[in-house]
Amino acid sequence: MIHRKTEIEIELMRESCRIVSDVHRLLMQYVKPGAVLLELDRMAEDFILSQGGRPAFKGYASGSKSIPVFPSTLCVSIDDEVVHGIPSNRVIEDGQVVSVDVGVEKNGYYGDGAMTLPVGAVSPENTRLLNITKEALYLGIEKAQPGNRLNDISAAVQEHVEKNNFSVVRDLVGHGIGKNLHEDPPVPNFGKAGTGPELLPGMVLAIEPMVNYGGFKVKIAPNGWTVLTRDGSASAHFEHTVYISKDGPVSLTDHFMRGNG
């Protein structure tokens, strides 16, 4: 069931999303060669707590008893890691592409956002991958209009990615968000325009293209969480929490990405 939010709920989500945005703006200064992932994670957690929020990912359960809960505040995914990278003592190196995904809960409502940053001298190919993925996100957001269909978003993302000879991940999708981090509806990054549920004012979606330089197939790392490209190619990930107002889409986490990439 798709829950449409009231104006009061949207205001509560704005605060959670504001914290997400501020975490990203903070981390953009520190994602550079020599940065240690665990230090970035601690920095993000300290900031979220200082704002009265709670890290949404830390302690998140996958639903499988064989996989431990997610141990970290951030998902930090490097190069061929698509999403759900677990921060460790790994050090960021020049030339890598680094995805940072942040979730925050405050006052019972969630915000979620991701960006992929180029570190130092990134190859032209990977620079283009990041740019196309970010463009696909905004093209998808433009389709989040009342009266459109959910897969209008999906088709816009897919078309832009594939005409630029990259591939969208099929095994992972965006999602509704609100009182829960993950709600209905699932938001694929591929699909046929004009199909899917009608988009209505009050819906809030986490739209998040995950785009691979090579093929779309992925695999799961032994830790049970981290998703990697099956062919070892680089991947990029951008995400906004988007409120569908009566006048069109509003990106609640937008300001952290302005001027980036």
| pLDDT tens digits in sequence order for the chain, 261 residues long | 999 999 999 999 999 999 999 999 999 999 999 999 999 999 999 999 999 999 999 999 988 888 999 999 999 999 999 999 999 999 999 999 999 999 999 999 999 999 999 999 999 999 999 999 999 999 999 999 999 999 999 999 999 999 999 999 999 999 999 999 999 999 999 999 999 999 999 999 999 999 999 999 999 999 999 999 999 999 999 999 999 999 999 999 986 554 443
Q: Say if residues 206 and 252 touch (Cβ distance below 8 Å).
A: no
Tell me, what DSSP letter sits at residue 249?
E
User: What CA–CA distance (Å, rounded) separates 204 from 202?
Assistant: 6
| Domain assignment present for 230 | yes
Task: Label residue 104 exposed, middle or buried (CB < 10 Å: 0-12, 13-18, 19+).
Answer: buried
> How far is residue 187 from each of residues 59, 139, 179, 210, 223, measured CA to CA in Å?
24, 14, 17, 12, 26
3-state secondary structure of 240: strand
* Chain centroid, CA 69 distance in Å: 19
In a domain, 150, yes or no: yes
Burial letters 151-160, b for 16+ CB under 10 A, else e: bbbbbbbbeb
Domain that holds residue 95: 7-257
d(C-alpha 229, C-alpha 233), whole Å: 6
List Cβ neighbours of 186 (8 Å cut-off, separation of 6 or more). 173, 174, 175, 176
Kindly report the average pLDDT of the chain as a whole number: 96
Transcribe 76-87 into DSSP letters.
EEETTEEE-PPP
Q: How far is CA 106 from the centre of its chain?
A: 18
- Strand-pairing partners, residue 168, are 211
Let me know if residue 236 belongs to a domain: yes
Helix (H, G, I), strand (E, B) or coil at 184: strand
Residue-wise pLDDT for 196-239, tens only, equals 999 999 999 999 999 999 999 999 999 999 999 999 999 999 99
∠ CA(134), CA(135), CA(138), 5° rounding? 90
Q: Is residue 233 part of a domain?
A: yes
Burial of residue 121 (CB within 10 Å: 0-12, 13-18, 19+) is exposed
What backbone phi and psi angles, to 5 degrees, belong to 39? -70, -40
Asked whether residue 34 is assigned to any structural domain, the reply reads: yes
On whether residue 2 sits in a domain, the answer given is no
Q: Is the peptide bond before 209 cis (omega within 30 degrees of 0)?
A: no
In the structure encoding, which two tokens stand for residue 214, read together? 């090579």
- Contact (CB, 8 A) for 82 and 228: yes
pTM recorded for the entire structure:
0.96
1 within a domain of the structure (yes/no): no
Query: What is the torsional sign of CA 23, 251, 182, 234?
Result: negative
Query: pLDDT of 127-138, one tens digit each?
Result: 999 999 999 999
Looking up residue 138, the CATH number of its domain turns out to be 3.90.230.10
How many domains are there within the chain?
1
